[in-house]
Amino acid sequence: MTVIDLNSDLGESFGAYKIGNDEEVLRYISSANIACGYHGGDHNVMFETVRRAKKYGVQIGAHPGFPDLAGFGRREMKLTTQEIYHLMVYQIGALEAICKANDVKLVHVKPHGALYNMAARSREMADSIVQAVFDVNPKLVLFALAGSELAKAGEERGLLVAGEVFADRTYQPDGTLTSRGEANAMIHDSAYAITRVIRMIKEGKVQAVDGAEIAIQADTICVHGDDPQALEFVMKLKQAFQQENIEIRKSWRSE
C-alpha cells in the first residue's frame, strides 16, 4: 500500500473573522498547518485549533508567514535575512508553547504564502528559514515545495524534509507554482485535480502549464483550508485514495 500525508492550512480565522471549516476538515487530514498570528490566526484561534487537532489525532505544524493580515500573507515583502529568521523563530516558538500547554507535540513547520514561494526560489531566504527551524528544534519536519531551494537547504542542514505537492495549483516548467495573480494558477475541477495528485504520488510526475513533464517528490499533499470547497474536495480525495489503495497517515518520525 502507498502511504501519503494529507495536510491543510488551518487556524486562519482571527478576531471576529472566520475563515475555513477547520472542525470538519480535521476529520480527513493527517497534518494541520496552524497559522501563527501574522498572516492569519490569533492566540485564541491557535489554542482552539491545537485542541481540535489533538482531538482528532492530527499532527500539528506551525504555519508562519509574513506580518500581513490585510494581504493574508500572499504579498511579497522585502525583509532582511535576520528579520526572516526572527519572524520564523517568533511564530514557531509561540505555537510550540501552545502545544506544550496542551500536552501535544509540534511536529512540523510549513512557511505560508509569499514567504513559502519566495524561499522556494531564493537560497538566501531558504537558509534563514531553515536555520530558524533548526535552532528552535532540529527534529521538526520541514514542509517545502518539492525540488525547491527551501527543500534543498533543509536537507543540507540535516532537517527531515517532506516534499510538498499541491492538489489545486498549477506548476511552471521549473517546478515552481504558478503565481496566484495568473488566471490559470488554480485548478477548480476536483476530478482533474484528484487525477493529477494520484499521478504525482504513484508516478512522481506532474504536467506543467506548458505541457512539460516534471519529476516531483510527493511526501505530503496540501489542500487549502480557506477554500470554500475544501471539505467537499478532501472527502472526494480520500474516497479516490481508498480506490487506488493509497493510505492517508503520518509517514515520518514524530518523536
Tell me the domain boundaries of the chain. 2-248
Contact 5, 162 (CB under 8 A): yes
Integer Cα distance of 25 and 34 in angstroms: 13
Work out the average pLDDT over 212-219: 92
- The reported pLDDT for the residue numbered 21 is 85
Contact 217, 204 (CB under 8 A): yes
At 255, is the pLDDT very low, low, confident or very high (cuts 50, 70, 90)?
Answer: very low
User: What are the strands, taking DSSP E only, across the chain?
Assistant: 2-10, 31-35, 59-63, 106-109, 141-145, 160-166, 205-207, 213-215, 220-223, 246-248
Alpha carbon 151 to chain centroid distance? 13
For the stretch 86-145, pLDDT in tens is 999 999 999 999 999 999 999 999 999 999 999 999 999 999 999 999 999 999 999 999
Q: What is the second-level CATH architecture of the domain 2-248?
A: Alpha-Beta Barrel (3.20)
Listed in sequence order, the residues at least 6 apart from 17 whose beta carbon sits closer than 8 Å to its beta carbon are: none
Closest CA relative to residue 67, chosen from 93, 40, 85, 94:
40
For the stretch 35-47, pLDDT in tens is 999 999 999 999 9
User: Which grid coordinates belong to 98?
Assistant: 501552545
User: Which grid coordinates belong to 175?
Assistant: 517546478
Percentage above 90 pLDDT, the chain:
76
Listed in sequence order, the residues at least 6 apart from 46 whose beta carbon sits closer than 8 Å to its beta carbon are: 11, 34, 35, 36, 37, 94, 95, 98
Q: Which region, left, alpha or beta, applies to residue 123 given φ > 0 means left and ψ of -120 to 50 means alpha?
A: alpha
User: Which grid coordinates belong to 74?
Assistant: 500572499
Listed in sequence order, the residues at least 6 apart from 31 whose beta carbon sits closer than 8 Å to its beta carbon are: 5, 6, 7, 8, 58, 59, 60, 61, 107, 108, 143, 220, 250
Q: Which region, left, alpha or beta, applies to residue 121 given φ > 0 means left and ψ of -120 to 50 means alpha?
A: alpha
Residue 229 predicted with pLDDT over 80: no
pTM of the complete model: 0.93
